[in-house]
Amino acid sequence: MRRGLLPIVGGVVTSFHRLPCQRRPIEIVPEPAKISRALRGKRVTAIERKGKRVIVRVENDHRLVFEPRMTGLVLLDDPPSTAHRRARLVLSGVADSQLVYWDRRGLGSIRLLDPDQFETVLGPPRLGPDALEVTAAELAESLAESRRAVKVALLDQRVLAGVGNLYASELLHRARIHPARVCRDITRGQWKKIHAAMVEVLVEAIRHEGSTLSDGTYRTAMNNPGNYQNEHRVYDREDMPCRTCKQPVRRIVQAQRSSFFCPRCQVI
């Protein structure tokens, strides 16, 4: 999403407004009219990412933060449907003159934050270190004494920012760690394997522009599907053969989320 929005860097904000939608309303803070007044005439200086949030930064260092959560999309092209359009940022001076936020389930949010608010809302302890920046030693130190299952712990954005449910299953398979293994039972050597697998999986997923599953919800900024779903080893592959050992993939539920694993490659 971040890379897809780079064409609007250098554009000048004309307006921001909530779009008519009969579905569950998303959270927009402050109200859209105030966001529009604050951003009007400001040049977009950067597109950034903080954990699982996409950020449009303008020249006074205010940031428009999009948190897509499970079904939100930040688009420069026409959205998958008109019924779930939530907000529009209009720009001048660039080829892509609008950014549209689309959200099928209405779980996401949009916030305009000044520099101080940004650190308060998205700094520690509200958000942990980024998954692509944290070291193996830091990851182990933060989770090694936890009594939680490792899959559940990896999803805690206060501890580690940027790992979602899909990628947690994938990285644990690559590290050969059962998702229900308790963190405190994992050795230092295994934490190093988890860290290495995490970086590998996330970098590969970014290169393939994310995963578009059978529901078709996730799309790139130009409304194209991602390709990483074709690389999944276990996620959404229940009863299908593990791509390492051919054993059928199993599914369990942890913290109300599906976890996929291979019972041969990931012995608890």
How far is 261 from 233, CA to CA, in rounded Å?
9
pTM over 0.85: yes
The pLDDT confidence band at residue 172, using thresholds 50, 70 and 90, is: very high
Residue range 125-153, pLDDT digits in tens: 999 999 999 999 999 999 999 999 999 99
Residue range 57-113, pLDDT digits in tens: 999 999 999 999 999 999 999 998 999 999 999 999 999 999 999 999 999 999 999
Is the confidence at residue 268, as pLDDT, over 90? Answer: no
Q: Which residues pair with 47 in a beta bridge?
A: 56
Please give the single-letter amino acid code of residue 62.
H
Please answer whether residues 39 and 62 qualify as being in contact, where contact means their C-beta atoms are separated by less than 8 angstroms: yes
The pLDDT confidence band at residue 215, using thresholds 50, 70 and 90, is: confident
- Structure tokens that stand for 247 in this block: 């054993």
DSSP of 17-47, one letter per residue?
Answer: EEPP-SSPPPEEES-HHHHHHHHTTPBEEEE
Is the confidence at residue 245, as pLDDT, over 90? Answer: yes
Is the confidence at residue 162, as pLDDT, over 90? Answer: yes
Is the confidence at residue 170, as pLDDT, over 90? Answer: yes
- Edge-to-edge strand ranges of the sheet holding 98-103: 12-18, 85-92, 98-103, 72-75
Residue range 219-228, pLDDT digits in tens: 999 999 999 9
Query: Across all residues in the chain, what is the average pLDDT?
Result: 96
State whether the Cα torsion 42-85-214-262 is positive or negative. positive
- Structure tokens that stand for 262 in this block: 């291979």
Long-range contacts of 250-256 (CB under 8 A, 24+ apart): 252/179, 252/180, 254/149, 254/151, 254/152, 254/179, 254/180, 255/152, 255/155
Residue 141 vs residues 153, 195, 260: alpha-carbon distances, Å: 13, 12, 26
> Which residue is it, tokens 């959560």?
69
> How high is the pLDDT of residue 183?
98
In this prediction, residues 234-240 reach a mean pLDDT of: 97
Please give the single-letter amino acid code of residue 168.
A
Give the domain ranges of the chain.
Answer: 3-122, 136-261
The pLDDT confidence band at residue 216, using thresholds 50, 70 and 90, is: confident
Residue range 38-60, pLDDT digits in tens: 999 999 999 999 999 999 999 99
Please answer whether residues 255 and 110 qualify as being in contact, where contact means their C-beta atoms are separated by less than 8 angstroms: no
Write the Ramachandran bin of 157: left for phi over 0, alpha for psi from -120 to 50, otherwise beta: alpha
Please answer whether residues 208 and 228 qualify as being in contact, where contact means their C-beta atoms are separated by less than 8 angstroms: yes
> How high is the pLDDT of residue 84?
96
In this prediction, residues 231-253 reach a mean pLDDT of: 97
Please answer whether residues 47 and 78 qualify as being in contact, where contact means their C-beta atoms are separated by less than 8 angstroms: no
> How high is the pLDDT of residue 167?
97
CATH of 3-122, one of 3.30.450.20, 3.20.190.10, 1.10.1740.10, 1.10.760.10: 3.20.190.10
CATH of 136-261, one of 3.40.50.10490, 1.10.8.50, 2.60.120.10, 2.40.50.100: 1.10.8.50
Residue 181 vs residues 150, 152, 172, 248: alpha-carbon distances, Å: 6, 10, 10, 20
